Structure 1
Amino acid sequence: MEAQKSLKVECLTEDEAINLFKKKVGETTLNSHSDIPQLAEIAAKECQGLPLAIVTIGRAMADKKTPQEWERAIQMLKTYPSKFSGMGAHVFPVLKFSYDNLPNDTIKTCFLYLAIFPEDHEIWDEDLIFLWIGEGFLDGFVSIDEALNHGHHIIEHLKTVCLFENAEFDRVKMHDVIRDMALWLASEYRGNKNIILVEEVDTMEVHQVSKAKEAQRIYLSTSSLEELTIPPSFPNLLTLIVRSRGLGTFPSGFFHFTPVIKVLDLSNARITKLPTGIGKLVTLQYLNLLNTDLRELSPELATLKRLRYLLLEGSLEIIFKEVISHLSLLRVFSIRVKYMLSKRNYISSSTEEEVNYSRKADKAIYLHEDNKALLEELEGLEHINWVSLPIVGTLSFQKLLNSQKLQNAMRRLHLWNLEGISILQLPRINHLHSLAIYRCGELQDIKVNLENERGKRGFVADYIPNSIFYNLRSVHVNQLPKLLDLTWLIYIPSLEHLSVYHCESMEEVIGDASRVPENLGIFSRLESMNFYHLPNLRSISRRALPFPSLKTISVMECPNLRKLPLDSNSARNGLKRIRGESEWWQGLQWKDETIQLTFTPYFKEW
């Protein structure tokens, strides 16, 4: 309609929802029993602020005058919302209009897939997209990067049409009523109950769930994996997602009953050992072991000849030799390393004392030590094109420098313990998304090679779009006691997240950038910057920067940082929070009082 401005109609607040719901129920019904007003509030909350659902359900409850009727109705809303009066006839068909107008079947399939997770579940964007890739929804793309980019496009489109919702920190979720509609679409409306089956079964007595035998996709949740009962045969099961809130081992023999499983997601299952029999899953293509407590990757994995995507947790310490080299179809190999800022800095890595429990020096690769052998196995894989892992030690780093194939595949690079290196010349890694440099005691300076194919050098505006680090979005440096500055970051045009911890010698983050034009936009895409235990830090930047994308600043144990590179035009678009110690904030120096008053409302004490 060529409107000049579009406004998103938000869901009602809880009070607004309750008031509208009670209005549709009517005073006569509300006054028919003293328990009903409280039950009405419970029912209203089930609508999650969606006006269409509030009106429909409120009208349906108008003739129910006893608490027992209300309690039965609320239970139906919680368990079988599609069967509640008016939902299938009035609410879902209206919501279905948005679904029907999605551009293609791929987006429709990706939308329905999120309904496999329980109500209010939030999932990282990238984790969801990798599941879509593992399921084969995005198989039309040659590279993983193209598939990931398209996945992000799908998520943004689904948010635009209000079928997905934003959650914090690059996560996404589905409104409860939208999820109910998705399950209705996937089963009752289409007359096919096998597309998606969600079974959040805390008792895990799967054999009691009669529908499970026919399910294609199942989500299971339990408080303890030891309680899991061995199920009957699942001849149609393609996808199994398991979550556990307690530590444990997977029951022996479970996978004898899943002959055609393609996707196995045990992330957040808190397992300490790989399930016995996992090597029997000859059809498996996607295996997610993120956020587990695995220390050792079993040799049994070498039999998974069709495996294409392997996602591992940074707590992993041992991979047996020639396991990875046997996975001939592997495309994605990722070890996710977590870095968190807290009063005690934490990194997901192991101490020497923790890994001596199982040394088999001739048969295993120890990830906390030199892991050159792992890089050699990855290099030998024909189809590998997306790699994320820690590279430990100078020999391993040299292996990366000598392998163009590994550099082309590297997406997240974590450099640890580069002994004897005082000047780090970063290699040309065009597709690198994330860089972490950790525990390099001699490192003083980091450099980038600014020479492009035509032999030009220097920092000029028209060079940046072709930068060798154009895709680099996150930089984390930690425990580099001799590092002097990070001035090389001015050459990273797409940087979004910067964290600098335990760099005791650093006095400036950005040093002399006088030759960089002021209109070029240093840190123009930076969203967050974190500085922790930098006792000599005096400056982030010598001049104030506009920071058009900045959302958060976190500062801890930086007593000499007395100025922030902010002026009245800085961070005007989206700043949400500045965190630090109260004493540090009170001691900051500002160019004028107006700037101080501008940023004071954003300060939150640690």
Structure 2
Amino acid sequence: MNFVVTLANLLAYRLCYIAKMVFVSYLQGACMELAIGSIFEMMRYCGAPICKYLDNHRKLEEKVERLRRKLNDLNIRKQDIESRKEAELRSKKLVKKEVEKWLVDVETMNAGMQAMEDMLRIVPYFSRARLGKLVCRKIEEVNEIYERGGFPEGVAIDGPPTIGKTLQTTNLEGEIDIKELIWEYLMGNVVGMIGVCGMGGIGKTTIMKHINNQLLRESRYDKVIWVTVSKEFNVVKLQEDIGSALNHYLPNDELERATMLMDILKRKRFVLILDDVWNRFSLRDAGIPEPTLQNGSKLVITSRSIDVCLSMGCEILKVPPLSKQESFNLFLNHVGDDVLQVPALKEIVKLIVDECGGLPLAIVTIAGSMKGVDDVREWRNALNELRERVKSVRGLDNEIFECLMFSYDRLGDLKIQECFLYCSLYPEDYIIERNELVEKWIDEKLIDEYGSRQAMRDRGHSILNKLENNCLVEKVKDFFEKGVKMHDVLRDMALSIRSVGPRFMVKAGMLLKELPSEHEWTQDLDKVSLMENSIMVIPPNISPKCGFLSTLLLQQNHGFERIPEVFFEFMHGLKVLDLSYTSILDLPNSISNLENLTTLVLRRCYRLRYVPSVAKLRALRKLDLFNTAIEEVPHGMETLVNLTYLGLHSGSLKELPRGILPMLSHLQYLATTLNINGEEMTKLGKLETLTGSFPEVQDFQKYAKFIRGRWPTSYQLVVGSPWSAEHDDLTELFENPEEFHNGITLINCEIGREDLVLLPNDLHGLAIKKCPNLLSLNTISLFHEANDLKICYISECEGIECALDLSLLSCNSIQNIEVLNLKGLRNLRQLVSGLAIESTSPATPAAPAPPAIFSSLVTFELSNCSSMKKLFSREILQGFQNLEFLKVESCSKMEKIIAVEEDEGNGKGEVGSANITAFILPKLRRLVLWELPELKSISSAGVVIHADSFQYIWIVECPKLKRISLSLALLENGQPSPPPFLEGIYIKPREWWKSVEWDDPNIMDVLSPFVACKED
């Protein structure tokens, strides 16, 4: 016993001695290994704190898992903030600097998590406690960042003010008298509230769109607000739409938001147009001040119901049907005047027009279905069919339905008719993105008779064009959206067709908070659409008996988290299930028994961590798990031999398990951020769309050699680096590769050797990051080969001192570049060097003449290039004739945007030929100068920028900028006139604007009304 005690004392003494020596070494600045530091730490914490030490040591994995969960919640909030940011940008707002910094902090934390994961795999036993302590600190940091990310006052500040939004219109035929009467009321002081009434399809909305655009041109009101109300009225949505039009973020509390909205609107002289109102509601409860003679505001309501307009106190204006001549003219405008070339047709056409009853929607739709028909017999048959339909019904709504049914029947093809009916599954007045709709038709096998995916997409767009040409859907196109939508009357008709037989249940966009009750889920249901609602949960005991249900659409229920096990129990016929853009946490195991399922869409389910086995889902053709949080690939994926579409991205996954891809030999579409293996990729011979990351160049080479130049139709690839947080700017490209042009990103590659493999000859976009041996664009071999290259991004390449060296071999493809972005090139000093108009040696190829260097460039961005002092020379700028967007940001030494060599030679900075003025950048629309502390001038003396095409000017934190040389068109009196397309000038700080010097002092007076000055 004494021996044991003595041994224990000896060991204790020895450990204390070691600890003491380690501590002394530490004080002397000696480097300590992590393990030795941990021994000292263990000794120092002997006593009461040892519990905390042991807790960090033993529960390391538990703490790391907690950190993962916290970080996942943080990234979900990040996605929400980015969505809000995108929405604000679309509203022409400016994202706050604190928001941008917060997003950077999140990315930094993500990168730190990756380092933590790496440490966890190799941490020595005695270092676990130290790592546990670090994890605890990281959890606190994540919590702090999460709390900062609430942004209750919004993520953006107002951009340049606008009166309202210009709406897409069609030409008015007739309806002029009613339009003029509405305008007279709006311009007068007698009537404050106007009710524009008439049956569906008579042209109320068309008239008011023209009125809206005319109000914007007149600028008589502070704000013109357009809101589509529709059948399913909801006061919260109405308030949100008005708030969005006013660029104001409203609180969540209904009473508070009504009060705030009332206060905002009372301070403005506005016109509020509420389109398609079905029911009376209280203006006061909604937060809308009643227009009066004193406030000068106006309210216009369009409705099918005169009673609704009367009950709200409106002056009634009823839209009459078109006259026979107006109807005939409108029909000819859409069917074409060629029908009059056949003498026998004129009377038949008039009779068909008469059957339309003067309703513009019926006239336009039937004209669309008859366009291109010149056979008199077919016209006579059409007249007979139309007469039979119309005379068999009574009532105005039924009458127009039957007119529209005529056009529906003339589609002829059952699948095209089904494509049309599918559009009614979307909410009323919803803009359906074209590519999304075609993708849905493919999911439903409405266009599955074509072998290749490209052929199916082409067929889908062809069908969509046919529906547009037949005026069954309306084309919608503006700066941000390109899609179609259904007229509400046509949607009502489509839903009436599907109200019997294989039936649709459509409750989309109705802000439902609960699932429809179980008795509504009947056996005859074919498709159910509950998209765009606020459904949070499904009751645990609901199990709809819908054996024939083929499609269930639950996407865009953002708060939706769980599905009970019994919900799918009697849905054995289900083929298409869409849960995208929800907060679903996991899927019930019962989903594994849906053996007829062909499409499972879980895109952007950011919180989804678990998907049960898919081994029995042999019929599955599409599996979309892009932007989820799954922690492992679903069990049984290798059995999905019929899979043609796979989308897969999760921050918790790094690569596909070996052996899965070769089993999926029918894949046509593969979009993933996971690292992919070149050898396995050679088994996928049918790929038409590919996104992925080849961390090893050798893997990329294997795949490139295998396909022998037959590249997929669409591709986005990262070569030379595993996928990481730094690639987040590529996520949208990887998620929707078919929406973007083909591109490759080279990271940490040896530039100059990338031509060892057969790179795509249809490459459209090229990004190069962290390639230190890149010296200039000339050294990129692709610029000598890829004639389709239009977009080029170069970032963090320390070897670049000039972007283009004209003393080297010429790069013909440079002349084709339309977008050039240079970022983080800290040694970049010149945009172009080696400028020479003529070659001095026959053996040396002549450099291109300066005007041809960037002749196709439309967008040029330069940011974080800390060595640049002067951007352009006047000679080089002669080639920028097509430049529309110029952005220079965070270049700490930038002194001049446009410099002339003579500036160097005289103290006044004047050009040698002072009488010669050079006008440059004739197409420039947007000029952005952001955080340039040393910028003294935009252009040198004698160099002037045309401003006639300007849309926006942004000059932020450029304190030394004192002179701007702009050229404005002159009025007859010789005074400068405002640029015709200018929407706003954004500046910061406020006092800077008054300090600017102008060539013509009158220019400041002309431009000042466009200035918006917002402080953070």
Instruction: Report the TM-score when normalising by structure 1.
Output: 0.65
The residue type paired with residue 603 of structure 2 is L
Asked if residue 206 in structure 1 is aligned to residue 522 in structure 2, the reply is: no
Partner of residue 233, structure 1: 545
Of the three residues 259, 263, 270, the one matched with 2:572 is 259
SS, match of residue 945 in structure 2: helix
The residue type paired with residue 939 of structure 2 is Q
Partner of residue 477, structure 2: 166
Equivalent residues in 2 for 1:148-547, closer than 5 Å? 148-152=457-461, 154-155=463-464, 161=471, 163-174=474-485, 178=487, 180-189=488-497, 192=500, 194=502, 196-200=504-508, 202-208=512-518, 210=520, 213-221=523-531, 222-223=533-534, 225-227=536-538, 230-242=542-554, 243-246=556-559, 248-293=561-606, 298=611, 300-314=613-627, 320=633, 325-335=638-648, 350=651, 355=652, 371-373=675-677, 376-381=679-684, 383-404=686-707, 408-409=711-712, 411-415=715-719, 417=721, 421-423=749-751, 425=754, 427-429=758-760, 470=788, 491=813, 501-505=823-827, 514-515=847-848, 523=856, 531-536=862-867, 542-544=876-878
CA distance in 1 between counterparts of 2:611 and 2:819 reads 35
Q: 1:63, CA displacement in angstroms?
A: 9.8
CA distance in 1 between counterparts of 2:527 and 2:884 reads 38
Q: 1:509, CA displacement in angstroms?
A: 7.4
Distance change in 2, residues 1:430/1:333 (3 Å): farther
Decide which structure has greater helix share: 2
Structure 1 gap segments, 5+ residues each: 1-6, 26-40, 49-54, 71-84, 337-348, 451-457, 460-466
CA distance in 2 between counterparts of 1:317 and 1:281 reads 20
SS, match of residue 137 in structure 1: coil
Residues 253 and 276 of structure 1 are in contact (CA less than 8 Å); yes or no, is this contact kept in structure 2?
A: no
Q: Deviations over 1:315-372 (max 9, x none)?
A: 6675539965433223333457xxxxxxxxxxxx85xxxx49x99999999x999823
Q: Deviations over 1:381-438 (max 9, x none)?
A: 4644322233334454344334318963352223462675221626433566766556
Q: 1:293, CA displacement in angstroms?
A: 1.2
Q: 1:118, CA displacement in angstroms?
A: 1.7
Distance change in 2, residues 1:328/1:164 (3 Å): same
Partner of residue 88, structure 1: 397
Partner of residue 61, structure 1: 306
Distance change in 2, residues 1:286/1:492 (3 Å): farther
Q: Equivalent pairs: percent with the same residue? A: 19
Residues 565 and 590 of structure 2 are in contact (CA less than 8 Å); yes or no, is this contact kept in structure 1?
A: yes
Distance change in 2, residues 1:293/1:166 (3 Å): same
Residues 56 and 87 of structure 1 are in contact (CA less than 8 Å); yes or no, is this contact kept in structure 2?
A: no
The residue type paired with residue 597 of structure 1 is A
Q: 1:302, CA displacement in angstroms?
A: 4.7
- Per mean C-alpha deviation after superposition, the further-off stretch among 247-256 and 514-523 is 514-523
Residues 411 and 434 of structure 1 are in contact (CA less than 8 Å); yes or no, is this contact kept in structure 2?
A: no
The residue type paired with residue 170 of structure 2 is K
Q: Deviations over 1:498-519 (max 9, x none)?
A: 6555444556778889549968
Residues 563 and 588 of structure 2 are in contact (CA less than 8 Å); yes or no, is this contact kept in structure 1?
A: yes
Q: 1:214, CA displacement in angstroms?
A: 3.1
Distance change in 2, residues 1:181/1:439 (3 Å): farther
Partner of residue 434, structure 2: 125
SS, match of residue 216 in structure 1: strand
CA distance in 1 between counterparts of 2:622 and 2:274 reads 40
Residues 673 and 692 of structure 2 are in contact (CA less than 8 Å); yes or no, is this contact kept in structure 1?
A: no
Residues 411 and 433 of structure 1 are in contact (CA less than 8 Å); yes or no, is this contact kept in structure 2?
A: no
Residues 852 and 879 of structure 2 are in contact (CA less than 8 Å); yes or no, is this contact kept in structure 1?
A: no
The residue type paired with residue 749 of structure 2 is I
SS, match of residue 389 in structure 1: strand
Residues 895 and 936 of structure 2 are in contact (CA less than 8 Å); yes or no, is this contact kept in structure 1?
A: no
CA distance in 1 between counterparts of 2:772 and 2:585 reads 32
Residues 428 and 449 of structure 1 are in contact (CA less than 8 Å); yes or no, is this contact kept in structure 2?
A: no
Partner of residue 595, structure 1: 945
SS, match of residue 195 in structure 2: helix
Q: 1:288, CA displacement in angstroms?
A: 2.7
Q: Deviations over 1:462-498 (max 9, x none)?
A: xxxxx8674x776666655556788799649997766
Of the three residues 443, 449, 461, the one matched with 1:134 is 443
The residue type paired with residue 948 of structure 2 is T
Residues 499 and 529 of structure 1 are in contact (CA less than 8 Å); yes or no, is this contact kept in structure 2?
A: yes
The residue type paired with residue 276 of structure 2 is C
Q: 1:232, CA displacement in angstroms?
A: 0.6
Distance change in 2, residues 1:257/1:570 (3 Å): farther
- Per mean C-alpha deviation after superposition, the further-off stretch among 285-294 and 539-548 is 539-548
Q: 1:197, CA displacement in angstroms?
A: 3.2
Residues 244 and 269 of structure 1 are in contact (CA less than 8 Å); yes or no, is this contact kept in structure 2?
A: yes
Q: Deviations over 1:173-201 (max 9, x none)?
A: 425xx1x3343332324764645432236
Residues 259 and 281 of structure 1 are in contact (CA less than 8 Å); yes or no, is this contact kept in structure 2?
A: yes
SS, match of residue 438 in structure 2: helix
Across the two proteins, how many residue pairs are aligned to each other? 522
CA distance in 2 between counterparts of 1:592 and 1:101 reads 66
CA distance in 2 between counterparts of 1:592 and 1:90 reads 70
SS, match of residue 147 in structure 1: helix
Residues 775 and 800 of structure 2 are in contact (CA less than 8 Å); yes or no, is this contact kept in structure 1?
A: yes
CA distance in 1 between counterparts of 2:459 and 2:812 reads 29
Residues 674 and 693 of structure 2 are in contact (CA less than 8 Å); yes or no, is this contact kept in structure 1?
A: no
Residues 504 and 533 of structure 1 are in contact (CA less than 8 Å); yes or no, is this contact kept in structure 2?
A: yes
Distance change in 2, residues 1:16/1:143 (3 Å): farther
The residue type paired with residue 556 of structure 1 is E
CA distance in 2 between counterparts of 1:98 and 1:520 reads 54
Distance change in 2, residues 1:65/1:251 (3 Å): same
Distance change in 2, residues 1:311/1:93 (3 Å): same
Structure 2 gap segments, 5+ residues each: 1-168, 187-192, 199-227, 231-272, 278-299, 316-393, 662-670, 722-745, 805-809, 836-846, 900-917, 955-985, 988-1016
Partner of residue 21, structure 2: none
Q: 1:599, CA displacement in angstroms?
A: 4.7
Asked if residue 8 in structure 1 is aligned to residue 170 in structure 2, the reply is: yes
CA distance in 2 between counterparts of 1:399 and 1:328 reads 24
- Bigger radius of gyration, 1 or 2? 2
The residue type paired with residue 112 of structure 1 is L
Distance change in 2, residues 1:379/1:225 (3 Å): farther
Residues 112 and 182 of structure 1 are in contact (CA less than 8 Å); yes or no, is this contact kept in structure 2?
A: no
Partner of residue 145, structure 1: 454
Distance change in 2, residues 1:272/1:89 (3 Å): same
Residues 850 and 879 of structure 2 are in contact (CA less than 8 Å); yes or no, is this contact kept in structure 1?
A: no
Partner of residue 195, structure 2: 22
Q: Deviations over 1:239-294 (max 9, x none)?
A: 22222223734444433343222222222123344553433332233333322215
